[in-house]
Amino acid sequence: MTSALPPLNAVRAFVAAARHQSFTLAANELHVTHGAISRQIKALEAYLGVSLFERRTRQVSLTVEGLKFYAQSDAALKQIAAAAQSVMGQAPTHVVRINVRPSFAVCWLIPRLPGFVERHPGIEPHVLTTTLAPDRAAEGFDVAIRRGDEGWPSSVQLRPFLHDEACIVAAPALLDAHPVAEPRALASLVLLSSRTRKRDWDDWLQHAQAGPIEPAGHMQFDHTHFVLQAATDGLGFTVAPMSLAARSVASGRLRCLFPERAMPVARYYYGVAHDAAPQARTFIAWLEDEMAGWNAGRR
């Protein structure tokens, strides 16, 4: 007996036929013809020098040698399948590294990522949040998204992204308790702001031609998504970019006041690194689709 392995396709055909006790059902399982199963098993029997099946009219059954070979070969094929699955599970995933500010990640990107993952299950998005400009990034990225066209490395391909505007927002319960029919009524409420957007209130007053208004108090937070959470919880009102507040407004958690006085703010850009991974192109295509839907909705 040679030490070489028997033909594995023939072993696979045999195991299927032995499990079903039928060449026809084995053929259906393996998507081949009845004749192909029969030829594979005859070739295996010739290789082994024994009969594996007793063949009767419209029926086959395993011989003693067939039973012995089935018990061991079925276990061997399952072990090979498990080994293959183990290796496949450890195969490198296709990763796309996305550099964004924390508030943009929380309020805009992450809520939309399930759609990307569903469409592209073979690509794993890694979201890198930082307040540093892309040209000062501490780690490499494939795609970065930022407001404005400053602070980008010269090697990055920069493309315009979302149009944006800022609106006064507050929780419906707060506004029901303290109705705001005109801007001066905001003086009875607490102003909420982030460290990175300190001038939004003064800029909005100038844009809206509302004159000087002194709120009842002022609370400041590190990031805009904290500000929006504070507004949702009824702590006060804020001037919020709609790119970050739109989902809360759409769900009714926040209400936009004086939408006709919404203030234009710097648009977003996205940049693609010169050494971006190939899968970054897939992410960019998805990003472009999201951008088209957003910009159409803002018109």
CATH number, domain at 74? Answer: 1.10.10.10
CA gap 159, 154 in Å, rounded:
13
Contact partners, residue 134, CB within 8 Å, separation at least 6: 99, 141, 144, 146, 151, 152, 153, 156, 271
DSSP annotation string for 60-105: EEE-HHHHHHHHHHHHHHHHHHHHHHHHHHTSPPEEEEEEE-HHHI
| 38 shares a domain with 158 | no
> What domain count does the chain have?
3
DSSP H or E run through 117:
helix 110-119
CA gap 222, 100 in Å, rounded:
16
| 275 shares a domain with 148 | yes
**Structure tokens given for 22:** 């039928």
pLDDT for res 239: 98
| 48 shares a domain with 171 | no
CA gap 297, 258 in Å, rounded:
18
Which pTM value belongs to this model? 0.68
| 272 shares a domain with 129 | yes
pLDDT for res 56: 80
pLDDT for res 298: 65
pLDDT for res 3: 58
Looking at residue 55, its amino acid is R
* pLDDT tens, the chain, 299 aa long: 445 788 888 999 999 989 888 888 888 888 888 888 999 999 999 999 999 998 887 778 899 998 999 989 988 888 888 787 777 665 557 899 999 999 999 999 999 999 999 989 889 999 999 999 999 988 899 999 999 999 999 999 899 999 999 999 999 999 999 999 999 999 999 999 999 899 999 999 999 999 999 999 999 999 999 999 999 999 999 999 999 999 999 999 999 999 999 999 999 999 999 989 889 999 999 999 998 887 776 65
Residue 283 three-state SS: helix
Q: 197: domain range?
A: 165-265
pLDDT for res 77: 87
Considering 50, 70, 89, which residue would you say is the last residue of a domain? 89
